[in-house]
């Protein structure tokens, strides 16, 4: 993969880790766990195996690009930390600083279908999203949580950069659903606000054009 990733890095925002588990979300899997019948229990040795995969993917990417894992607990367990990135280390080019998130069940339940297991993990993910790429998709029509007011608040809280517009249509674009984003009138605002903008706040210019 390395030659392809390097050659096309100008159109790559982030690369989801994948490789492990159904849907590449690191959960339902016969590998990287000690007991496939209990995929929620991962030993320290298997977390190290997962970190090895993550490390290899980051090595294949240019240093300016990140990879994304499915949950904050995955990052915490692989790196052995519960301290979120800060201004001091967010730009140091380390594996930790280059590991971001994809939430593929945004607003699907109170925990976004297991994206976090505690309020502390949710807060950790929100804190880190100030510095790392954040994106994903919705997967379940779940008003009022999936409706516009909650969507706008949580997209801002987690600093979302990108969103799959094709899934789930009942949440996003199904006009027959009273609380879809298109019915609620927030879809255009969300489109405008995704990602980051560069704003010129002040400038100093010469008062003459150099010939």
- DSSP letters for 33-74: SS-TT-TT---HHHHHHHHHHHHHHHHHS-TT-EEEES-HHH
Q: What is the pLDDT of residue 196?
A: 80
CA separation for the pair 87, 202 (Å, rounded)? 24
Residues with Cβ within 8 Å of 66's Cβ and at least 6 positions away in sequence, in order, are 14, 15, 58, 98, 99, 100, 132, 133
Based on the number of CB atoms within 10 Å of its own CB, is 167 exposed (0-12), middle (13-18) or buried (19 or more)?
middle
The verdict on residue 114 lying in a domain is yes
- What number of other Cβ atoms are within 10 A of residue 123's Cβ? 14
pLDDT digits (tens, 9 = 90+) for 40-78: 999 999 999 999 999 999 999 999 999 999 999 999 999
**84 is a domain residue:** yes
Whether 27 is in a domain gets the answer yes
Task: Give the orientation angle of helix 44-60 with respect to helix 72-79, to 10 degrees.
Answer: 100
Reduced to 3 states, what is the DSSP secondary structure of residue 135? strand
For residue 113, being part of any structural domain is answered with: yes
Number of structural domains, the chain?
Answer: 1
Handedness of CA 19, 85, 124, 9 (dihedral sign): negative
Of 69, 53, 93, the C-alpha closest to 14 is 69
Residue 78, in any domain of the structure = yes
Distance of CA 123 to the CA centre of its chain: 14
- pLDDT tens-digit map of 77-132: 999 999 999 999 999 999 999 999 999 999 999 999 999 999 999 999 999 999 99
Would residue 44 count as lying in a domain? yes
The reply to whether 202 falls in a domain is no
Provide the residue range defining the domain that includes 82: 2-193
Side-by-side strand order, sheet with 134-136: 14-16, 66-69, 99-103, 134-136, 162-163
Rounded mean pLDDT of 203-210?
A: 86
Tokens (6 digits) for 35: 């007991």
Please report which confidence band the pLDDT of residue 199 belongs to, taking 50, 70 and 90 as the band edges.
Answer: confident
Mean pLDDT of the chain: 96
Q: Is residue 49 part of a domain?
A: yes
User: Contact, 84 vs 127, CB < 8 A?
Assistant: yes
Q: How far apart are CA 132 and CA 42, in angstroms?
A: 25
Per-residue pLDDT at 166 exceeds 80: yes
In 3D space, the residue among 30, 3, 27 whose CA is nearest the CA of residue 17 turns out to be 27
């Amino acid at each position: 993969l390395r030659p392809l990733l390097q050659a096309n890095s100008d159109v790559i925002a982030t690369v989801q880790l994948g490789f492990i588990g159904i849907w590449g979300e690191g959960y339902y899997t016969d590998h990287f766990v000690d007991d496939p019948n209990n995929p929620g229990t991962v030993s320290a040795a298997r977390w190290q195996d997962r970190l090895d995969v993550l490390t290899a993917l980051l090595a294949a990417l240019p240093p300016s690009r990140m990879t994304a894992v499915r949950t904050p607990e995955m990052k915490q367990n692989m790196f052995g930390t519960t301290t979120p990135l800060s201004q001091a280390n967010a730009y140091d080019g380390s594996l930790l600083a280059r590991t971001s998130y994809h939430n593929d069940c945004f607003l699907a339940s109170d925990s976004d279908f297991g994206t976090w297991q505690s309020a502390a993990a949710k807060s950790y993910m929100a804190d880190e999203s100030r510095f790392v790429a954040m994106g994903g998709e919705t997967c379940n029509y779940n008003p009022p949580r999936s409706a516009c007011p909650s969507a706008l608040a949580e997209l801002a809280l987690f600093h979302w950069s990108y969103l799959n517009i094709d899934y789930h249509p009942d949440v996003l674009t199904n006009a027959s659903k009273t609380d879809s984003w298109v019915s609620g009138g927030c879809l255009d605002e969300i489109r405008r606000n995704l990602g980051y903008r560069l704003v010129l706040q002040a400038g100093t210019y010469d008062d003459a054009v150099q010939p």
